[in-house]
Amino acid sequence: MTITAPKNGEAPEPKSSFRSAPDLRQHLTDGLHRAAEQTDGPQSHQPFVSSSGHEGQDPARSGLSVEALEIAESLDDDGISVPVLTGTVRFVDLALIAVTSVAAAFTEIGASEFGLPQVIAAAIAMIFALAFFQASDSYQVSNMRRGLSQVGRIAAGWTLVFGMFYLIRATSGFGSSLSMHWLGAWYLLSLTGLICARLAVFQLVRHWMNTGRLERRAIIVGGGTAAADLIHELESQPENDIRICGIFDDRANDRSPPVVAGYPKLGNISALVEFSRLARIDMLIVCIPLRAEQRVLQLLRRLWILPVDIRLSAHTDKLQFRNRGASFIGTVPFVDVVEKPITDWDMVAKRIFDIVFACLALATLFPLMIATAIAIRLGSKGPALFRQKRYGFNNEIIEVLKFRSMYQEQADPDAKTAVTKNDSRVTPIGRFIRKTSIDELPQLFNVLRGELSLVGPRPHAVNAHTNDHTWDEVVDGYFARHKVKPGVTGWAQINGWRGEVDTPEKIQKRVECDVYYIENWSILFDLKILMMTPFCLLNTENAY
pLDDT in tens, 105-117: 887 654 556 788 8
In a domain, 323, yes or no: yes
Per-run averaged pLDDT (10 residues), the chain, 544 residues: 34 34 45 41 36 41 73 78 89 94 77 76 90 86 84 91 83 77 90 94 88 83 83 77 85 80 84 85 81 75 82 57 50 63 85 92 93 92 89 86 88 70 85 88 94 91 70 74 89 82 80 88 91 81 59
Q: In terms of domains, do 137 and 153 share one?
A: yes
Q: In terms of domains, do 426 and 307 share one?
A: no
Backbone angles phi, psi at 356, to 5 degrees: -60, -50
Domain termination site, one of 338, 353, 371: 338
455 is in which domain, residue-wise? 344-536
In a domain, 401, yes or no: yes
Q: In terms of domains, do 197 and 237 share one?
A: no
In a domain, 489, yes or no: yes
Q: Which residues does 124 contact at the CB level (< 8 Å), separation at least 6? A: 165
Measured CA to CA, the distance from residue 481 to residue 306 in angstroms comes to 9
User: Hey, is 328 helix, strand or coil?
Assistant: strand
Q: In terms of domains, do 353 and 485 share one?
A: yes
288-344 per-position pLDDT tens digit: 766 666 777 788 878 888 888 888 876 544 433 334 455 656 656 565 566 778 888
Give the chain's domain count.
Answer: 3
In a domain, 3, yes or no: no
> What pLDDT sits at residue 20?
40
Q: In terms of domains, do 217 and 292 share one?
A: yes
Helices (H) and strands (E) in the chain, counts: 18, 16
> What pLDDT sits at residue 181?
86
Contact 250, 43 (CB under 8 A): no
In a domain, 9, yes or no: no
In this structure, the dihedral spanned by the alpha carbons of residues 450, 453, 456 and 459, taken in order and rounded to 10 degrees, is 60
> What pLDDT sits at residue 82?
84
In a domain, 10, yes or no: no
What is the DSSP annotation of 477-515? TGGGGGGS--EEE-HHHHTT--S---SHHHHHHHHHHHH
Q: In terms of domains, do 350 and 442 share one?
A: yes
* 122 residue type, one letter: A
Q: In terms of domains, do 379 and 507 share one?
A: yes
Does the pTM surpass 0.85? The reply is: no
453-510 per-position pLDDT tens digit: 999 998 887 777 666 667 767 777 777 788 889 999 999 888 888 766 767 888 888 8
Q: In terms of domains, do 311 and 357 share one?
A: no
Q: In terms of domains, do 453 and 469 share one?
A: yes
C-alpha distances (whole Å) from 479 to each of 56, 125, 214, 228, 400 are 22, 50, 28, 31, 18
In a domain, 126, yes or no: yes
Q: Which residues does 455 contact at the CB level (< 8 Å), separation at least 6? A: 487, 488, 489, 490, 517, 525, 526, 529, 530
Q: In terms of domains, do 229 and 191 share one?
A: no
Best CA proximity match to 77, nearest among 281, 233, 271? 281
| Residue 431 φ/ψ region, left for φ over 0, alpha for ψ in the -120 to 50 degree band, beta for the rest | alpha
Best CA proximity match to 19, nearest among 298, 243, 284? 243
Q: In terms of domains, do 518 and 381 share one?
A: yes
Domain termination site, one of 269, 303, 338: 338
Q: How many CA atoms lie within 13 A of 252 on its CB side?
A: 1
* Helical H segments across 147-251, by residue range: 147-172, 180-210, 224-235
Backbone angles phi, psi at 243, to 5 degrees: -115, 115
Domain termination site, one of 292, 308, 338: 338
Q: In terms of domains, do 74 and 116 share one?
A: no
Q: How many CA atoms lie within 13 A of 354 on its CB side?
A: 25
Helix orientation angle between 82-104 and 180-210, rounded to the nearest 10 degrees: 160
3-state helix, strand, coil in the chain (%, to 5): 50, 15, 35
